[in-house]
Structure 1
Amino acid sequence: MADIVYVSITGLRLKKVWHAPVFWRHATASMSQAKAAEGCLSADARTIDGVDHTLSVWTSRDAMRAYLTKGAHLNAMKTFKRIATGKVYGFETATVPDWPQVHRLWLDEGKNV
């Protein structure tokens, strides 16, 4: 039987183009934090149709939540509502989706944040 992992998908769109420097400062720091976080198996980002997406894979939902609520990511979340809109989707699975699947899941299942 395959191991079950927790997959987190985000997609954010800037409200105004001039928010880009703030967004990228937070995004870069958050991605570095994710890649170094305990329980993170992988973390990647892509821009699809003007939306900045992340795909991260974790050993568990608890590991992802530990990352989510501290450090650079916590600071990014505090800034988010001012500069962007977006949706998130997380789920447990034995099969990590590829980028086309990630985008479909985000469109179909994502919850507004």
Structure 2
Amino acid sequence: MKLHYLEIVTHDVDSVCSAYEMLQNVRFSNPDEMLGGARTTMLSDGSSVGVRAPLHEKETPVTRPYWHVEDIEKAIAEVERDGAEVALPPLDIPGKGKFAIFILGAVEQGFWQG
């Protein structure tokens, strides 16, 4: 099991990025529009963290892990059989891969292929 991307949705992007930069000795990028305006940083294990503001007024703050998978369609089908609600089916982000969001056990998480 490998974490590909950790998404943090917050109303205070700059403060969260500043705190992590100071505490973890990382640097966040400028906003990446392909990732909803997230400011991102790469970690030493190859995973990344993105911090962004909510995309609409109904989106609430959340910390959402995206697990790396080889076959996102198969992974989504398997968690759906286990009772997960698919909140966002697999979607391609050009140059970054495919991602999907599901809710299982009241926890939002996702898969990432690519």
Could you say which TM-score interval applies, normalised by the shorter chain? Answer: 0.3 to 0.5
Structure showing the higher helix proportion among its residues: 1
Structure showing the higher strand proportion among its residues: 2
TM-score by length of 2: 0.34
Of the two, which has the highest radius of gyration?
2
